[in-house]
Structure 1
Amino acid sequence: MKLYLGEATSIVFKTFPYIFLRFLVYGAFAIGFLVYLGVVYLIAEALAGLHEHARLFVWVLALGASYPLIRLAQEYLLYLVKAGHLAVITELIMHGSLPQGVSQTTWGKEAVKKRFASTSALFLVDRLVAGVIRTLNGVMWRITSFFGVIPGVAALTKIGTTVLHFSLTYVDEAILARNFLRKDESIWESAQTGLVLYAQAWREILKTALVLGAISMIFLPVLFLLLLGPFLAAGYAFPSIKFLFVLAAIFGAYVIKAAFLDPWMLTNMILTYVRTTEGMAVNPEWNDKLASMSKKFRKLQEKTSTVAPVGETVVAS
C-alpha cells in the first residue's frame, strides 16, 4: 500500500479557491441550519403551554420538513461544489495545471456542465456507483462473517466494516473522477468501467480506503472535542440554549473536515485509484459478476447500451 501524502498535499494546496468556497458554502449551510434550529426552539417553547406534547410535535414537524431541503442542498452542493472541485483535482493530477485565463471555480463548474447534461444525471451516476460499492461491501461482509466463530475476529470484522463505511465516499468519488479522465466514454460507460477496474484491483485500493476511513473516524470526534470547550464556555452566557452551542461544535467540526480534510483524503484516493488501475485491461468476467450482484450495476449497463454517442446530450431518466 502506498499513500501519496506529499503529492496529495501539494495538489490540494493548488485548489485553495475551491477550499475557500467549500468552507464558505458548508459554513453558510451550518449557520443557516443552526439559526433554523434556534427558531424551532423558540417556537416550541412558545407553544409548550398549549399541550404537554407541543414541544415534541414542533420538533418532529420541523425536522421532518427540513429533510427534503437538506437533500436538495446536498444535490446542489454535489453539482456546484464537490463535483467542480473533483474535476479540478483530477485535471491537476493528470496535467499539473489548469488552462490559463479562467478562474479555478469557473473552470470546475464548466467542466462539470460539459461532462454532465444536468444535475440529475450527475446525481444518478453518483447514486448508482455508490450503490454498487455498497453491494460489494456487503458481499465482503458476508465472506468475512464466516470467520466470526474465531475469538476476536468477529469484533475486528465489525470494526473494519465500520471503518470501510466511512471510506466508501472517497472510493465513490474516485470512480466518479474517471469521468473527467476518459472524456471519450459516456458518463455511464465510464462509471461502469471504473467499477469493474475497482473490483479487479480492490485489494490495493481498499487498503488505502481503510486507512483514510480510519483517519476520518478519528479526526471528526477529536476536532469536535477541541471545539467543544470554547463553544461550551460561550454557551454559559445563554444557559437555556446551551445545546445549540454543542450543535455548533458538531457542525464546526463537520465544516472543517468537509472543507479541508475531505479534499486531501479524496486526492489520496484518486491518486491510488488512478495509479493502481493504470494500464489495466477490463476483465469481462467482472462485468458479469457485478451484474449478478447488483441491480444498480445492471442499470449502468442498460444506460451504457442505450446512451447517445459521446458529445451528444445525455439526459437522466
Structure 2
Amino acid sequence: MKANEVYTKTLKFAWIKLGMGLATVLLSIILFAIVMGISVLMESEEVGMIGLLIWFAGTLLISYIINTYFGYLVKAGHVAVIAETFRTGQVPADEVNYGIRMVKSRFATSNIYFVLDRLVSGAVNQLQSAVGKVESFLDFVPGMSIIAGFAKSLIRIGLGYVDECCLGYTFYNNQQSAFKSAADGVVIYFQNWKTLLKDAAKVSLIVIIGTVVASILPVYLFVLLFKALGWFTFIGFVVGVIVGCVVRYAFIDSYILVRMMSSYMQVAPTTVISFDLYGKLSRLSGKFRELCKRAGNEISNVGMNNPYPGNMAG
C-alpha cells in the first residue's frame, strides 16, 4: 500500500490531533478573556500584567495536560496503525480503537512509553548534533557520505521522525521487548540513510509549501476577521499563528510521519542489523547507550542471550 493511500485512510488521527489542538486554543482564549476581563474591571495595569503571566502559564499547563494524557495515545496509536498497515497491507478496522489497544498492549503503563520515547528522542537529538559535526566519523554507516550533499533542513526532516519510526518498529516486531526493538530500530535507521534521506528530499518541497500555506492563510483570515469585528488585529495575528501551528501539526506532520514510516518499513524487514554499529552509535549518544542497557537488562531478565556488546553498558 502506498504512503498517500495510508495517509488518506488514517486521516481520523489527523482530525483528532486537530481537535485536541483547537481545544487547547479555545481553552487558552477563554482563559485570556477571563484574566483580561478581571484586569479591565479592576482598571489596573499591574493586574493586567499578572493576568498575562497567569494566561501564559495556564496555556502551557493546558497544552501539557492535553498532550501528555491524550496526545501520546493518539501519536502512538497512529504509529501502531501505520506499522500494522505496512506489515499486513491493510488498514485495521476501526483504526483508532485498534491503535489505542495496541499501545496499551505493547506498553503496560504510560510510564514505560514515556521512558522509551524520551530515550529514543534524546538519542536522536544527540546523534543529530553529532551528525552535524562529525560526518566523516560516520563513514562506517552505509550511504553516510551522501549526507554532506543534502541540505541541513532535509537532515532535520529525516532525523525528526526517527523516534516515530523506531516506535513503529516496536509494533512491527512485537515478538521482543519494546526497548530492544527500539534500539534495533535506531540502528536500522542509520543503516539505511541513503534510502531514507532520498525520501526526505522528495517530501521536503511538499512540507515547505504546506507549512507556508498553513502558517500564512490562518493569520490572514483571523486578522481580517478581527479587523472586521473591530477587535485588536494583533490578537487575531497571534490566534492565526497558533491555529496555523495546530493545522500543521495535525495534517502536515501526520503526512511526513506516514511518508517517513513508509520508507522505513520498506527497508526494516530486510535489513541485517550490524551489531558493531551499536558500540559506535553508543559512543556518540549517552541516551542510545542507556537505551541499549535497558534492552540488555530486559533480555537478561527473561533469560535470553544478550546480543549487545558488553562494553555498551558502560
Q: TM-score range by the shorter chain?
A: 0.7 to 0.9
Q: Secondary structure at the match of 1:229?
A: helix
Shift of 1:196: 1.0
CA distance in 1 between partners of 2:99 and 2:2 (Å): 20
Counterpart residue number, 1:104: 95
CA RMSD of aligned residues (A): 2.8
- 1:258-300: per-residue Cα shift (whole Å, max 9, x none)? 2322222211101111223332111122100111111111211
Mean Cα deviation higher: 253-262 or 121-130: 253-262
Contact 2:196 2:264 in 1 (8 A): yes
Q: Secondary structure at the match of 2:188?
A: helix
Question: Is the alpha carbon distance of 1:244 and 1:201 closer, same or farther for their aligned partners in structure 2, counting shifts above 3 Å?
Answer: same
CA distance in 1 between partners of 2:135 and 2:92 (Å): 47
TM-score relative to the length of structure 1: 0.80
1:59-70 correspondence to structure 2 within 5 Å: 59-70=52-63
1:166-245 correspondence to structure 2 within 5 Å: 166-212=157-203, 215-245=206-236
Asked if residue 73 in structure 1 is aligned to residue 52 in structure 2, the reply is no
Counterpart residue number, 2:33: 38
- 1:101-126: per-residue Cα shift (whole Å, max 9, x none)? xx221111101100111112112211
Higher relative contact order (CA 8 A, sep 6+): 1
**Which amino acid in structure 1 is aligned with residue 80 of structure 2?**
A
Unaligned 5+ segments in structure 2 are 137-147, 304-314
CA distance in 1 between partners of 2:15 and 2:211 (Å): 19
Q: Secondary structure at the match of 1:278?
A: helix
Unaligned 5+ segments in structure 1 are 1-5, 146-156, 311-317
Question: Is the alpha carbon distance of 1:174 and 1:47 closer, same or farther for their aligned partners in structure 2, counting shifts above 3 Å?
Answer: farther
Question: Is the alpha carbon distance of 1:120 and 1:241 closer, same or farther for their aligned partners in structure 2, counting shifts above 3 Å?
Answer: farther
Counterpart residue number, 2:7: 12
Counterpart residue number, 2:78: 85
Counterpart residue number, 1:55: 48
Counterpart residue number, 2:110: 119
CA distance in 1 between partners of 2:302 and 2:214 (Å): 47
Contact 1:178 1:194 in 2 (8 A): yes
Q: Secondary structure at the match of 1:184?
A: coil
What percentage of residue pairs aligned between the two structures are identical? 25
CA distance in 1 between partners of 2:275 and 2:166 (Å): 18
CA distance in 1 between partners of 2:40 and 2:156 (Å): 38
CA distance in 1 between partners of 2:106 and 2:75 (Å): 14
Asked if residue 278 in structure 1 is aligned to residue 273 in structure 2, the reply is no
Counterpart residue number, 1:160: 151
Shift of 1:90: 1.5
Q: Secondary structure at the match of 1:236?
A: helix
Counterpart residue number, 2:145: none
How many pairs align? Answer: 290
Counterpart residue number, 1:149: none
Shift of 1:144: 6.0
TM-score relative to the length of structure 2: 0.81
Shift of 1:309: 4.1
Counterpart residue number, 1:287: 278
Q: 2:123 aligns with which of 116, 128, 132?
A: 132
Contact 1:125 1:188 in 2 (8 A): yes
Mean Cα deviation higher: 172-181 or 17-26: 17-26
Counterpart residue number, 1:253: 244
Question: Is the alpha carbon distance of 1:90 and 1:60 closer, same or farther for their aligned partners in structure 2, counting shifts above 3 Å?
Answer: same
CA distance in 2 between partners of 1:186 and 1:63 (Å): 40
Shift of 1:243: 2.7
Shift of 1:128: 1.1
Asked if residue 27 in structure 1 is aligned to residue 22 in structure 2, the reply is yes
Contact 2:211 2:252 in 1 (8 A): no
